[in-house]
Chains A and B, each alone.
Chain A
Amino acid sequence: MRDVYVLGIGITSFSRLEYPIVEIAAYSSVVALKDAGLNRVDHVFVANMGAARVNHQTALASALVDHLNLMPCGAETIENGPASGASAIKTGWMAVASGLHDTVMVTGVERMREVNNLEATDFVASLTHPYAEQIYGVTLPAMAGMFARLYMETYGVTSRHLAMVAIKNHDNAMLNRFAHLHEKISMEGILDSNDAMTNNPFVADPLRFYDLCPVSDGGATLILGTAEMAKKIGKPLIRLAGVGQATDTHCVHERANPTDLLAVRGAAGKAMEMAGVKPGEISVAELHDAFTILEIAESEEVGFFKKGEGHIALEEGYTELGGKLPINTSGGLKAKGHPVGATGVGQAHEIVTQLRGDAGERQVKNASKGLTVNFGGFGNNVVSLVFVRE
């Protein structure tokens, strides 16, 4: 198989974007084309989860190709729940690595704010098991609440640790102009003061308002290509060195130990093995923190810390900017935002930005290897990517 490199990247603000979904996708795509200095690609993959339901639009890839006048290149839309973004990157990687195409454009896009938060929550809940979970009214925050409670009782994680994740990622997002939430928060304001319960009410006990990601619109694009193409472009050579994917039971309650995220463990393990990288060699990571507890749990499952010790590393500042292994420098889903279909591509965008040395105030020193975890379902379909600067 051929090596696959990142030729260009583009992103929109993750926010409320009052534009047609294809226009959002088109913007990040044009930015990425410009970044790569290309005006043609062989194939377009669009990652999206909910346009059919939320925006009453299907076949986004066909629409995007027409919008950008990229005909007659091939085009497909890829849906894999909240992991759609990384799934599309993986598919793009396969297309280039196999020799089928020399250049592919992968654009993730979502426009969730077209509906209200209740409808958006209901739409995301459609990824749960229809008869064993969804029928009982389960939502993703409810699922994460149960997961967090079990995690806290098993490993000694406290509300304070969850708040530390939120504060760290909000701080990081302050340095990212594309982030949805530019809002500094403090332990006093969200946990300790008399007014904290109103500032930060329970949403799904023990998870509070600031433990949850916002509902975002946004688009992000990666252009992948061959080594030959990458060398021509003249930017730092960033290789997509590892892709891994793993699945787990659809129902969380069918897992032997519901606090074990085996699909995260499997996907990240495969991606790092393919890249020939060990967890200790990763310089920067974007983990799928749709809920604060997930950053702690995933940081353990990918092998950065022993099981049950992620919150201790957090306490020690290991994962903050300037720490030994900064996690979610973009602000993560928690503060950068979570336009579900675009999230996995947005994570890759941040890692490439870091590896190129273009992250400005949030730049991780000497970043050379980065990992993403894009978490689909409630951990039942996970895609992990490893990028290496050469």
Chain B
Amino acid sequence: MSIDLEGLLRPVDNPAPAFPPKIITLANGEKMVIRQVTRDEIPFLLPHVKALLDVERDYYDIVAARVYAELLAYYRHRVQDEYVLIAQVDGELAAIVNGRSLSPRVGVSYHTLSLKRGARVGAHAFAAKMEYHIDILKHDEVLIVAESPIGFRRWMIEYKLEKRFDIAHELGGVPSYALTRELFERVRSSLIVGSRPVPEELLKKAMAGILPPKDPPKGPADLLAATRAMGDPTGTGLRAMRQKLEKLEGGK
């Protein structure tokens, strides 16, 4: 007698309407397309997320590690009712946002990962994710947490999220905040931007392939990092540089 172990391990997704692609004009005038990706496209995202695992700045390392796991789980059917949206500028990957349906009435926001810094790329992608939960998946509320101070400012403060501290969020079990339908309506005109349909040419370009980010997030400013790399909390390395100078300059 054989057991279908994979069948037991693999959750069955509930049917969910798709996110209709939208286009947003960024502060630099570039047009950013936000669209939903299928499971088949996940392998094209993974290398760009993996590259951020060592970026010890603004919590990129921990967010990238978690997003990587979430994408892999989605790809290999180890998470239920997850979705993934991406933002692209000229095909270039600008942001990844994801989440899942906890129930027909409650959504869970997972992560917002900006691969193109500035210009509210992450904020716009997060807003699209909230639009998906509230307007399309018809959730009454979305459970949200932030790992970074930037995220806290963008979500908890800008959206004036309600506390749901009695609910442990799936990300780390930390107390949740919630975006309710009412809160969403309050910010709809100010934070939820973009238009549909996406011009055919731009959508075609986005669908044609996920191009790597040209200027992905990097670690802290290299010059100071160099002194840190010397194991230099007290300035010993700086003094060593001085001594080297003294030798070079003949003690001038």
Contact = CB atoms under 8 A, between A and B. Distances in A.
Contacts of B224: 12-13, 17, 19, 23-24, 27
B28 interface: yes
Contact of B27 (A38, A39, A185): A185
B242 A186 contact: no
Contacts of B234: 67
B228 interface: yes
B221 interface: yes
Interface in A1-59: 12-13, 15-20, 22-24, 26-27, 30, 33-34, 37-39
Q: Is the interface of A mostly helix, strand, loop or mixed?
A: loop
B235 A67 contact: yes
Contacts of B227: 19, 23, 26-27
A197 interface: yes
A189 B30 contact: yes
Contacts of B79: none
A33 B242 contact: yes
Interface string B231-249: 0111100110110011001
A199 B223 contact: no
Given A26-B238, A30-B242, A196 B25 contact: yes
B235 A23 contact: yes
Given A12-B221, A185-B28, A199-B26, A194 B245 contact: no
A183 B117 CA distance: 8
Interface string A167-180: 00000000000000
Contacts of B196: none
Given A194-B25, A198-B120, A13 B223 contact: yes
B193 interface: yes
Given A15-B221, A69-B239, A116 B245 contact: no
Contact of A186 (B28, B223, B235): B28
B29 interface: yes
Interface string B177-199: 00000000000001101110000
A200 B58 CA distance: 23
Q: Is the interface of B mostly helix, strand, loop or mixed?
A: loop
Nearest to B239: A69
Interface range on chain B: under 10, 10 to 19, 20 to 34, or 35 or more? 35 or more
A228 interface: no
Contacts of A181: 118
A19 B58 CA distance: 14
A87 B24 CA distance: 45
Contacts of B27: 183, 185-186, 189-190, 196, 199-200, 210
A17 B195 contact: no
B238 A39 contact: no
Contacts of A13: 221, 223-224
Contacts of B220: 16-18
B149 interface: yes
B252 interface: yes
A68 interface: yes
A19 B223 CA distance: 12
A201 interface: yes
B25 A39 contact: no
Given A186-B29, A189-B119, A37 B221 contact: no
Contacts of B118: 181-183
A197 B190 contact: yes
Contacts of A210: 27
Contacts of A195: 24-26, 193-194
A190 B120 CA distance: 11
B194 A39 contact: no
B252 A39 contact: yes
A193 interface: yes
A184 interface: yes
A316 interface: no
A168 to B, nearest CB: 14
A39 B29 contact: no
A69 B223 contact: no
Given A13-B223, A195-B193, A26 B119 contact: no
A210 to B, nearest CB: 7
25 contacts: A12-B221, A12-B223, A13-B221, A13-B223, A17-B220, A17-B221, A17-B224, A19-B228, A23-B232, A27-B238, A30-B242, A34-B245, A38-B249, A39-B251, A67-B238, A182-B118, A184-B28, A185-B119, A186-B28, A189-B25, A189-B26, A193-B29, A195-B24, A198-B120, A198-B193
